[in-house]
Amino acid sequence: MTTEISDLEKMASQVRRDIIKMVYECQSGHPGGSLGCADYLVALYFRVMKHNPEFNMDGAGEDLFFLSNGHISPVFYSVLARAGYFDVAELKTFRKLNSRLQGHPTTHEHLPGIRIASGSLGQGMSVAIGAALTKKINKDNGIVFSLHGDGELQEGQNWEAAMFAPFNKVDNLICTVDVNGQQIDGPTSKVLDLMNLEAKFLAFGWDVMHTDGNNMKELVATLEEAKSKTGNGKPIMILMKTEMGKGVDFMEGSHKWHGIAPNAEQLAEAFTQLEETFGDF
C-alpha cells in the first residue's frame, strides 16, 4: 500500500477525533496515550504493514501487530475500523455492555483484528516473539510488530523477552516503545526512572532505532528502514518519542489525561483542534 504522508496525516486527525469521541461517550478510557500513538498506528495500518482486513487469526503471509499496552485500545479500535476490519459505527459501543470493543482489547468477543488480550501489562513482547517464531518455522516472510508503553517496561517479563529475542535471532520482529515519559502516578522519571533505554536494549543485543512518533514523515521513514533491516540476525527496537495527548493542546504532555474522559465542553474544544477528514462515527 502506498499512501502519501499528507493522506496519513489526515487519517491520523480523524483517528484522534474518534479517540476523543469514544472516550467522551462512555466517560471512561485512556485518551492520552491513544492520542500520542495515533500517528504510529495509522502509519502501520495504512502504509507500512502488509495485512488483510478480511481477518483470520493465523495471518499467514501477513505482517502482524500486537498491542502490549492494551489501555490505549481507543486508538487501536479506531485504526482497525478505519482500515476496514469492522464498521466504523461500532466505535460508539466502546466500553459499553455487550460490546466487542472491551475496555482493553480481547479476542474473547471475536473482534476482527485482535489476536491476543492485553491490558495486564508486560506480556506483549513475549507474545510477539512467539508469533515471530511461528512465522520462522512456517517459512512465512511476514514481519511481527508490537507496541509497548515506556512505563510498561517496569514489568519484569519485558526483560525476560528482551533477553530471549536477540539470543535466538528473532529478526522478523520490530518492537516499538512509546516513550512519552508519563505513567499514571506522574512522569516516569519520578515514578521509576527508565534511565538509558538505548543502552539497555543495546546491551541486550537489539538493533536500536529512534524516531519522532508524532512526525509522520520521519515515522514512516523509520518504520520502512526498520523493515529493510529485518532478517539480519537481530530484533529491532524503535524508541519512539511521542507526546501524551498529542493533537489536543490542553491534554498534551501531561499524565493527567492518561485515564480520564473529557466533558462536553472539552470535547467541543478538542474537536476545533482536529480536522474531521473522513467523517465522524
Partner 1 sequence: MKKYTYTEKKDTRSGFGAGLLEAGRKNENIVALCADLIGSLKMGDFQKEFPDRFVQVGIAEANMIGIAAGMTIGGKIPFTGTFANFSTGRVYDQIRQSVAYSDKNVKICASHAGLTLGEDGATHQILEDIGMMKMLPGMTVINPCDYNQTKAATLAIAEHEGPVYLRFGRPVIPVFTPADQKFEIGKAWMVNEGTDVTIIATGHLVWEAILAGEKLAEEGINAEIINIHTIKPLDEEAILNSVKKTGCIVTCEEHNRYGGLGESVAQLLATQLPTPQEFIAVNDTFGESGTPADLMKKYGLDSSNIIEATKKVMKRK
Report in angstroms how near the CB of residue 94 gets to partner 1 at its nearest: 19
Q: State which residue, 126 or 222, has the beta carbon closest to partner 1.
A: 126
> For residue 112, with 0-12 CB atoms within 10 Å meaning exposed, 13-18 middle and 19 or more buried, which class applies?
middle
The 162-201 contact track toward partner 1, x by CB under 8 A, reads: -xx---x---------------------------------
| Cα separation values, 58 from 27, 64, 104, 208, 240, Å | 34, 9, 21, 28, 28
Report in angstroms how near the CB of residue 230 gets to partner 1 at its nearest: 17
Q: State which residue, 20 or 127, has the beta carbon closest to partner 1.
A: 127
Q: How far apart are CA 280 and CA 200, in angstroms?
A: 42
State the DSSP code for 138: T
**3-class secondary structure, 116:** coil
Q: Does 73 bind partner 1 (CB under 8 A)?
A: no
Q: State which residue, 206 or 281, has the beta carbon closest to partner 1.
A: 206
Q: How far apart are CA 52 and CA 84, in angstroms?
A: 9
* Contact pick of 3, 154, 157, 277 for partner 1 (by CB under 8 A): 157
- Stretch near partner 1 under the rule CB under 8 A, chosen from 80-88, 161-169, 182-190, 255-263: 161-169
Question: Taking the mean position of all CA atoms in its chain, how far away is CA 181?
Answer: 16
- Stretch near partner 1 under the rule CB under 8 A, chosen from 37-45, 71-79, 108-116, 202-210: 108-116
In 47-150, DSSP assigns E strands to 64-67, 144-149
Which residues are CB-neighbours of 56 under 8 A, at least 6 positions away?
Answer: none
Q: Does 138 bind partner 1 (CB under 8 A)?
A: yes
- Stretch near partner 1 under the rule CB under 8 A, chosen from 53-61, 71-79, 89-97, 187-195: 53-61
Q: How far apart are CA 70 and CA 53, in angstroms?
A: 20
Q: State which residue, 16 or 135, has the beta carbon closest to partner 1.
A: 135
**Cα 25-27-32 angle, rounded to 5 deg:** 100
Q: Does 246 bind partner 1 (CB under 8 A)?
A: no
Q: State which residue, 32 or 124, has the beta carbon closest to partner 1.
A: 124
* Contact pick of 78, 118, 182, 242 for partner 1 (by CB under 8 A): 118
| Cα separation values, 86 from 15, 91, 103, 110, Å | 15, 9, 17, 11
If binding means CB under 8 A, how many residues of this protein chain bind partner 1?
39
State the DSSP code for 44: I
By CB under 8 A, what part of segment 9-48 binds partner 1? none
Q: State which residue, 112 or 186, has the beta carbon closest to partner 1.
A: 112
Note the residues at the interface with partner 1 (CB under 8 A). 57-60, 64, 66, 106-108, 115-120, 122-135, 137-138, 140, 156-157, 160-161, 163-164, 168
